[in-house]
Amino acid sequence: MTTLDAHSALAGEPVSTVPSRFGRRSITQAAIAAAVFLIAMFVLPALTSTFWVKNFTSAAILSIVAGATGLLYGRVGLVSLGQIALYGVGTWVTMRLGFATDWPYPVLVLIAGVITAVIGVLLGLPALRLQGLYLALVTLMAAAAFLVILADTKFPTGGPGFKGLVVEVTNSDSMRRPDVAETDFGFYRYVLVVAVIMFGLALAHLVSKPGRAWASIRHSEAAALATGVNTTTYKLWAWGLASFMTGIAGGLLAAHVRSPSTFTFGVEQNIILMAVVVMGGVATLWGGVVAGLLVAVLPELLQKWGFSSEWSLILFGTGLFANLLITSWQLDKAGIKE
């Protein structure tokens, strides 16, 4: 009866103020993010060689792709095994436009982001009806189809026509970089800034109306519909946002490696990415950063320590398993069934 007595006043405690979303916890988070950013921006390059700065550039680029994949899976409940293919679309579009025009580099990347978003939404159409394993399979098959097309068209090298290939490969086949970031160190910082903008874009979505709509969809589509969420719109919006981020990352990759190889976009890379994304954690956007570091830096570290970089696959597998085990313990302790 105590429960009833304690709550028998129907009006309850009157609440009139809403705590700011920028409360103490958010300020701590922002401070940590700022510290990580500043260290990555100024301390890290001072301590390491060009080789490692290049690896950290890859990590920053891949963390955008991982963040986008984690957003789709962790926040909306959609499994995409086609993210690396979309990453390749972004790279291809940036290279093709880069050779065909003299538009500023940010414009190229932005267009690549938009075109990738459109293709991503088309890829997301089956997601309106499919879930779980079947969605994973369909997106993986789309990634495989993309690789077949890519193997035929190859990355543009400055030639004419739709494919933009030159017959005799010369030194002119590499992608240009923005003027402010010609050096490897400069481009590393450029990528960091873009990555922060992309994560900011994702965060802005998550704390506002779309973020709450996605949380509703992830919890239960029926309940989301019953509370007025147009699930079609919001699912496609999620695909669009994730693909836009991925396309931007592809644009960065074009100027990072300058003459990309199709091997970077192998079908198996999609599965590895998904595993590392889950391993990094999908509950916060930090997981994307962790995943980016794991996938780009860990293999190089292993190599440096005298192991084959292929060992990273085994570490990813065990790491994924450990993560799932720990998560299920934590859920169990918190009394949450998932």
Partner 1 sequence: MIEVEDLTVRFGGVTSVNQVTLTFPAGACGLIGPNGAGKTTLFNVLSGFVRPETGRVSAFGDDLLAMPDYARARWGLRRTFQTEQAIEALTVYDNVLAVYEHTTKGRAARQAAVLDAIGLVGLGDVAFARVGTLSPRQRRLVEVGRAVVGTPRVVLLDEPGAGLPEAETEHLGAVIRTIPDQVGAMVVLVEHDMSLVKACCEWTAVLDFGRLLASGPTAEVLRDPEVLKAYLGQEELQ
Smallest distance from the beta carbon of 220 to partner 1, in angstroms? 6
Q: Does 133 bind partner 1 (CB under 8 A)?
A: no
Distance (Å) of CA 325 to CA 70, 313, 319 = 19, 18, 10
| Closer of 188 and 214 to partner 1 (Cβ) | 214
Total interface residues for partner 1 by CB under 8 A: 33
Give which of 82, 63, 96 is closest to 163, Cα–Cα.
Answer: 96
Burial 143-174 (b: 16+ CB within 10 A, else e): beebbeebeeeebbbbeeeeebbeeeeeeebb
Q: Does 216 bind partner 1 (CB under 8 A)?
A: yes
Instruction: Give the one residue of 161, 222, 305, 314 binding partner 1; rule: CB under 8 A.
Output: 222
Q: Does 220 bind partner 1 (CB under 8 A)?
A: yes
Contacts of 153 (CB under 8 A, 6+ apart): 92, 163, 165
Smallest distance from the beta carbon of 99 to partner 1, in angstroms? 45
Q: Does 253 bind partner 1 (CB under 8 A)?
A: no
- Report the C-alpha gap between 288 and 279 in whole angstroms: 10
Instruction: Give the one residue of 18, 46, 47, 133 binding partner 1; rule: CB under 8 A.
Output: 18
Smallest distance from the beta carbon of 1 to partner 1, in angstroms? 5
- Per-residue binding string, partner 1, 299-338, x by CB under 8 A, is -----------------------------------x-x--
Instruction: Give the one residue of 28, 101, 227, 318 binding partner 1; rule: CB under 8 A.
Output: 227
Instruction: Give the one residue of 223, 322, 324, 325 binding partner 1; rule: CB under 8 A.
Output: 223
| Block residue for tokens 């720990």 | 326
> Could you tell me if 88 and 246 are in contact, meaning their C-beta atoms sit under 8 angstroms apart?
no
- Report the C-alpha gap between 133 and 242 in whole angstroms: 19
Q: Does 284 bind partner 1 (CB under 8 A)?
A: no
> Could you tell me if 113 and 65 are in contact, meaning their C-beta atoms sit under 8 angstroms apart?
no
Which two tokens mark 270?
């999609």
Binding site for partner 1 (CB under 8 A): 1, 3-4, 7-16, 18-19, 209, 212-213, 215-216, 219-220, 222-223, 225-231, 334, 336
